[in-house]
Amino acid sequence: MSKKTDKIEATITIRNYKLCSYFRTLMRKVFHLAKCSTCQRILAQVNWTFEKQEIRSQKITEDQIDQMADLAGSYQALFSKRAIKYRTLNLKEKTLQEQDYRKYILEDDTFLKRPVFIVDENIFVGNSKSTIEALQKKLDE
């Protein structure tokens, strides 16, 4: 192999290691709001005893939102159109791109569809009945 190929392989290995080490810290984690009664009800319902990140006091990092989007398939899947600011900023009338969704979530935690559970390498976003049932099934495995 050439030195250039070795360098590329080393870069890939380092990135995979960073990704793997990140997921080890996120194996069982929830992103939630402490004052959100729906989040609190769901945490109690699934008997969540793992890591919690209260997103108002501990903001979501760029790395975290990027990893969540990788798991969810898009930033749009993480974006809450129920947020009051969605209406006040008249975002419904705009054509948002993936980077717009990312920007808004990072700027204001109310744009994150909550709660977001990461279990192993699975993500469960929002509070729909089917999402919570799928989460509970995964936790019971």
Q: What CATH code is carried by the domain that includes residue 115?
A: 3.40.30.10
Residue 17 domain-assigned? Answer: no
131 located within any domain = yes
Model confidence pLDDT, tens digit, residues 44-78: 999 999 999 999 999 999 999 999 999 999 999 99
pTM of the model: 0.79
Q: Which domain holds residue 67?
A: 27-140
Q: Is the peptide bond before 115 cis (omega within 30 degrees of 0)?
A: yes
Q: Which of 72, 57, 62, 75 is nearest to 117 (CA)?
A: 72
**pLDDT for the residue 8:** 47
Q: Give a yes or no: residue 11 inside a domain.
A: no
Distance CA 76, CA 92 (A): 13
- pLDDT tens for 74-119 read 999 999 999 889 999 999 999 999 999 999 999 999 999 999 999 9
CA atoms within 13 A on the CB side of 95: 0
Tell which residue, 132, 125, 13, 129, has the closest CA to residue 74: 125
pLDDT at 27: 77
In a domain, 126, yes or no: yes
